[in-house]
Amino acid sequence: MEIPQATRKPADYPTRKQGFSVFTVDVEDWFHILDVASTPPMERWASLPSRVEANFYRLLDLFDEKRARTTCFFLGWIADHFPHLVKETARRGHEVACHGYAHQLVNTISRRGFRDDVGRAKKLLEDLTGSTVLGYRAPGFSLTRHIPWFFDELIAAGYAYDSSVFPAARGHGGDTTFPRLPTIWGRDSCRLIEFPVTVTELAGWPVCLFGGGYLRLFPYALIRSQARKLLKAGQPVVYYIHPREIDPVHPRLPMNPYRRFKSYYNLKSAYGKVVRILDEFRVSTFRDVLAGDKVLPWDTTLWNQTSAQAEEARFSFQIRGWIRGKGSHH
Ligand SMILES: [Zn+2]
């Protein structure tokens, strides 16, 4: 596993007194919505009218305009069919990371199937860019407590970090008891950093305002004030978006009203919100976070500034023990 060594501290890298913002894109198409009966099988994807190129180029151009560097989790299938998108992403200075090959929910495939999927996609992306892929994000943030081999497989495949933990309620995956702050899994040379998706509490409920349905549902002013609060407390803010979300007229998959709301509500607001986020927050990539400061996040004492954070660290340790206790060795 290669962790980039810090050579210098980037000027824009946050200090211990302030958190950091990472803007991420899950690069996939409109027909990759998960867990609905109408999602077409992979054999049909190539025959469907693709919109990912136009939408993703629009995001890349916006990032250029705002001088933002982002982490782009590519679906391996997209990389196979649109290799120039991967190369262009790297050429423009963004981080190319991996979203698996076939976009299957992790909690529906076997350990062997997962191993093949994450290994195949990683190699494909590395062949296209010529550089090591450090990060992984599971389709649909589908990690649950019932997948004890998840981190062991990612470490074995050579990933340095993961961003699949969704520490709030979710249709597939997600768990309110997952750690909310960056956590180290494993030890010594067999370790990996987890950067969970950021959640915050609204009226006592943990919700993610920084991606997905809630990013589109809630007013920007609320998203901004919650992001500022987290950063001030020294915590990270991880944003995520899909190219289809900035394309209000993309084709719709049939689904029940609840999922339709989650997938398609207020798409017209998403692009404008991304513009404002990039205007008002300095965002970075996970690769830069890992490379920029040797202290963070290896030094978990960083997170022990308040009793709540100490509690978080203690709890994440328990989760590690839980997962490792049930995991078999490869
Ligand atoms: Zn996805």
Asked if residue 14 belongs to a domain, the reply is: no
Examine the pLDDT at 298 and tell me if it is beyond 60: no
- Please give the distance, rounded to the nearest whole angstrom, from the Cα atom of residue 170 to the centre of ligand 1: 14
Q: Can you name the residues that pair with 95 across neighbouring β-strands?
A: 71
Asked if residue 60 belongs to a domain, the reply is: yes
Torsion sign across C-alpha atoms 135, 88, 243, 119: negative
- Please give the distance, rounded to the nearest whole angstrom, from the Cα atom of residue 14 to the centre of ligand 1: 29
- Please give the distance, rounded to the nearest whole angstrom, from the Cα atom of residue 320 to the centre of ligand 1: 25
- Please give the distance, rounded to the nearest whole angstrom, from the Cα atom of residue 104 to the centre of ligand 1: 9
- Please give the distance, rounded to the nearest whole angstrom, from the Cα atom of residue 99 to the centre of ligand 1: 7
CATH no. for residue 134? 3.20.20.370
Q: Once rounded to an integer, what is the mean pLDDT over residues 210-231?
A: 93
- Please give the distance, rounded to the nearest whole angstrom, from the Cα atom of residue 88 to the centre of ligand 1: 20
More confident residue, 20 or 291: 20
Examine the pLDDT at 111 and tell me if it is beyond 80: yes
- Confidence (pTM): 0.84
Give the CB-side neighbour count of residue 60, counting CA atoms within 13 A: 21
pLDDT score for 192: 81
- For the chain, the residue count is 330
More confident residue, 145 or 302: 145
pLDDT score for 13: 35
| Nearest alpha carbon to residue 228 among 266, 276, 263 | 276
pLDDT score for 188: 56
- Please give the distance, rounded to the nearest whole angstrom, from the Cα atom of residue 58 to the centre of ligand 1: 19
Asked if residue 316 belongs to a domain, the reply is: yes
Examine the pLDDT at 251 and tell me if it is beyond 50: yes
Confidence band, pLDDT 50/70/90 cuts, at residue 35: confident
Asked if residue 44 belongs to a domain, the reply is: no
Asked if residue 164 belongs to a domain, the reply is: yes
**Interior/surface letters 238-264, b for 16+ CB within 10 angstroms, e for the rest:** bbbbbbbbbbeebeebebeeebeebbb
DSSP 99-118: --SS---GGGS-HHHHHHHH
- Its domain, for residue 165, covers 21-38+49-326
Whether the Cβ atoms of residue 71 and residue 162 lie closer than 8 Å to each other: no
Examine the pLDDT at 308 and tell me if it is beyond 80: no
Cβ atoms within 10 Å of 31's Cβ, excluding its own:
20
To the nearest whole percent, how much of the chain has pLDDT over 90?
53
- Please give the distance, rounded to the nearest whole angstrom, from the Cα atom of residue 262 to the centre of ligand 1: 14
Asked if residue 9 belongs to a domain, the reply is: no
Asked if residue 7 belongs to a domain, the reply is: no
Which residues of 237-323 form beta strands (DSSP E)? Answer: 237-241, 283-284
Confidence band, pLDDT 50/70/90 cuts, at residue 304: very low
- Please give the distance, rounded to the nearest whole angstrom, from the Cα atom of residue 242 to the centre of ligand 1: 8
- Please give the distance, rounded to the nearest whole angstrom, from the Cα atom of residue 138 to the centre of ligand 1: 7
Compute the distance between CA of residue 208 and CA of residue 312 in angstroms, rounded to an integer: 17
Whether the Cβ atoms of residue 290 and residue 3 lie closer than 8 Å to each other: yes
| Nearest alpha carbon to residue 137 among 278, 317, 1, 286 | 286
- Please give the distance, rounded to the nearest whole angstrom, from the Cα atom of residue 64 to the centre of ligand 1: 23
Asked if residue 178 belongs to a domain, the reply is: yes
To the nearest whole percent, how much of the chain has pLDDT over 70?
81
Whether the Cβ atoms of residue 51 and residue 16 lie closer than 8 Å to each other: no
Type of residue numbered 49 = P
- Please give the distance, rounded to the nearest whole angstrom, from the Cα atom of residue 32 to the centre of ligand 1: 7
- Please give the distance, rounded to the nearest whole angstrom, from the Cα atom of residue 198 to the centre of ligand 1: 17
| Nearest alpha carbon to residue 293 among 3, 6, 2, 1 | 6
- Please give the distance, rounded to the nearest whole angstrom, from the Cα atom of residue 302 to the centre of ligand 1: 31
Domain count, the chain: 1
- Please give the distance, rounded to the nearest whole angstrom, from the Cα atom of residue 325 to the centre of ligand 1: 29
pLDDT score for 258: 84
Packing angle of the helix pair 52-65, 270-280 (nearest 10 deg): 30
- Please give the distance, rounded to the nearest whole angstrom, from the Cα atom of residue 177 to the centre of ligand 1: 22
DSSP state of 211: B
pLDDT score for 140: 93
